[in-house]
């Protein structure tokens, strides 16, 4: 009998890794030669990719469909503002602290919402987001229902901003944008790498088993609740980080902006569905499609959103695997393969047994 080995990497995926590294190096250097408006678009892309990867980890791999990820965007943003205003922390320290605190908060929140399953889980996550929105509207030190801005002193005080300002010979606001841009880029690379490694790990295998059949997974010893909670917490961590960075870049937060179901759930779902749910490539492609559509059509107000909704429904009904899913099925190409293949250790011709 021939021996087999379980593999995930392919030749294409090794090339893709090299190509990704080149793209990341290019993006790191981009503030040198790209205009400011373009780096601001790229910053938005990085943050949307982080949120989309997080939602995709839940929906595409763990089978948990959340319509309440705005909970963690808003909490991440408010954590940053609380740290920067109430505790007078350096904003970058506040971003890190906020991400850690919100990730810890996600454990009890996850334990609560995971008491519901399927479609019920989805609506409960939405209720939790509403509760957070109402509670933070009561926090008068952070502006109550109308929200608040980051004080000017919090924006330009860091030594990093001064250093970047000197190196690039730009004023503090532009230096600050460059720093947020880099952090967002690093966050995106880290989240994609984390999701990729996670899905190739034991946890990834357990999540795929749960998604494909809970009863079967449980019967072979997968602890369903625990694995779901871990996935939920990791997704919350990524989403909170992206939320904190978004509102750091924005400089202003309000309960309605932080906990917007349209901005942080509807758009993210659109991105993942269009790009290809259950793949790592899909959220990246979906984000690019979304940003292009937005820059060409967003002047049309409601019509733009009607189009997004109709496109999302059409893709769900006609090609539920999205752009990357269709492309990958046609060509067999996977840039970030997570599926395990069995391949013989030695070529079959050299096998001694018949």
Partner 1 sequence: MSIVNTIIQGTLLGGLYALYAVGLALIFGVMRLVNLAHGDFIVLGAFVMLALSTAIGLPAPVALVIALPFMFALGWAVQRLILNRTLENDLLVPLLVTFGLSIIIQNGLLQIFSADSRRLSLGALETASYSLGGITFGVVPLLTFAVAVVVVLGLSLLFYRTALGRTLRATSDSLPIVEIMGVDPRKVFAVAMGISFVVITVSAFFMGVRANFDPSAGPSRLLYAFEAVVIGGLGSFWGTLIGGVILGIAQAVGGAINPAYQQLAGHLVFLAVILLRPRGLLAGSSI
Q: Shortest gap between Cβ of 288 and partner 1 (angstroms)?
A: 20
Near partner 1 by CB under 8 A: residue from 207, 277, 280, 323? 277
Give yes or no for residue 208 binding partner 1 (CB under 8 A): no
Would you say 124 or 142 has its CB closer to partner 1?
124
Binding mask 227-266 for partner 1 (x = CB under 8 A): ----------------------------------xx---x
Near partner 1 by CB under 8 A: residue from 63, 76, 79, 322? 63
Give yes or no for residue 116 binding partner 1 (CB under 8 A): yes
Mind spelling out the 3-state secondary structure of the chain?
CCCEEEECCCHHHHHHHHHHHHHHHHHHHHHHHCCHHHHHHHHHHHHHHHHHHHHHHHHHHCCCCCCCCHHHHHHHHHHHHHHHHHCCCCHHHHHHHHHHHHHHHHHHHHHHHCCCCHHHHHHHHHHHHHHHHHHHHCCHHHCHHHCEECCHHHHHCCHHHHHHHHHHCCCHHHHHHHHHHHHHHHHHHHHHHHHHHHHCCHHHHHHHHHHHCHHHHHHCCCCHHHHHHHHHHHHHHHHHHHHHHHHHHHCEECHHHHCCHHHHHHHHHHHHHHHCCCCCHHHHHHHHHHHHHHHHHHHHCHHHHHHHHHHHHHHHHHCCCHHHHHHHHHHCCCCCCCCCEEEECCCHHHCCCC
Scanning the structure block, which residue is given the tokens 């790592």?
Answer: 280
Give yes or no for residue 225 binding partner 1 (CB under 8 A): no
Give yes or no for residue 55 binding partner 1 (CB under 8 A): no
Region from 63-71, 90-98, 191-199, 280-288 binding partner 1, contact rule CB under 8 A:
63-71
Would you say 155 or 261 has its CB closer to partner 1?
261
Near partner 1 by CB under 8 A: residue from 104, 112, 160, 216? 112
Near partner 1 by CB under 8 A: residue from 17, 86, 135, 351? 135
Near partner 1 by CB under 8 A: residue from 45, 50, 67, 85? 67
Near partner 1 by CB under 8 A: residue from 301, 332, 347, 348? 301
Give yes or no for residue 115 binding partner 1 (CB under 8 A): yes
Give yes or no for residue 141 binding partner 1 (CB under 8 A): no
Would you say 4 or 303 has its CB closer to partner 1?
303
Name the site residues for partner 1 (rule: CB under 8 A): 59, 63, 65, 67, 112, 115-116, 118-120, 122-124, 126-128, 130-131, 134-135, 137-138, 261-262, 266, 269, 273, 277, 301-303, 305-306, 308-310, 312-313, 316-317, 320
């Amino acid at each position: 009998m021939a021996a087999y080995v379980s593999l995930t990497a392919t030749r294409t995926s090794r090339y893709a890794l090299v190509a990704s590294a080149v793209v990341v190096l290019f993006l790191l250097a981009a503030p040198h030669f790209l205009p400011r408006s373009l780096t601001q678009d790229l910053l938005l892309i990085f943050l949307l990719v982080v949120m989309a990867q997080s939602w995709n980890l839940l929906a595409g791999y763990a089978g948990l469909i959340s319509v309440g990820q705005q909970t963690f965007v808003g909490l991440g943003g408010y954590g940053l503002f609380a740290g920067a205003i109430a505790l007078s922390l350096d904003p970058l320290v506040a971003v890190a602290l906020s991400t850690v605190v919100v990730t810890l908060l996600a454990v009890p929140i996850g334990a609560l919402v995971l008491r519901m399953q399927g479609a019920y889980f989805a609506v409960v996550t939405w209720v939790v987001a509403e509760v957070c929105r109402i509670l933070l509207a009561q926090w008068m030190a952070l502006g109550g229902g109308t929200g608040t801005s980051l004080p000017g002193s919090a924006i330009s005080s860091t030594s990093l901003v001064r250093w970047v300002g000197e190196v690039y010979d730009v004023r503090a606001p532009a230096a600050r944008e460059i720093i947020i841009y880099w952090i967002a880029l690093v966050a995106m690379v880290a989240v994609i790498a984390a999701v990729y490694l996670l899905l190739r790990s034991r946890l990834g295998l357990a999540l795929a088993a749960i998604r494909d059949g809970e009863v079967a997974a449980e019967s072979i010893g997968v602890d369903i609740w625990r694995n779901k909670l871990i996935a939920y917490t990791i997704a919350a961590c990524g989403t909170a980080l992206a939320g904190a960075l978004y509102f750091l870049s924005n400089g202003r937060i309000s309960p309605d902006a932080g906990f917007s179901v349209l901005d942080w759930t509807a758009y993210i779902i659109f991105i993942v569905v269009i790009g290809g749910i259950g793949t790592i490539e899909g959220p990246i492609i979906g984000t690019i499609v979304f940003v292009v559509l937005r820059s060409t059509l967003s002047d049309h107000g409601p019509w733009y959103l009607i189009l997004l909704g109709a496109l999302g429904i059409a893709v769900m009904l006609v090609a539920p695997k999205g752009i990357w899913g269709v492309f990958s099925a046609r060509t067999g190409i996977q840039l970030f393969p997570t599926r395990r293949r069995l391949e013989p250790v030695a070529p079959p011709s050299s096998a001694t047994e018949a």
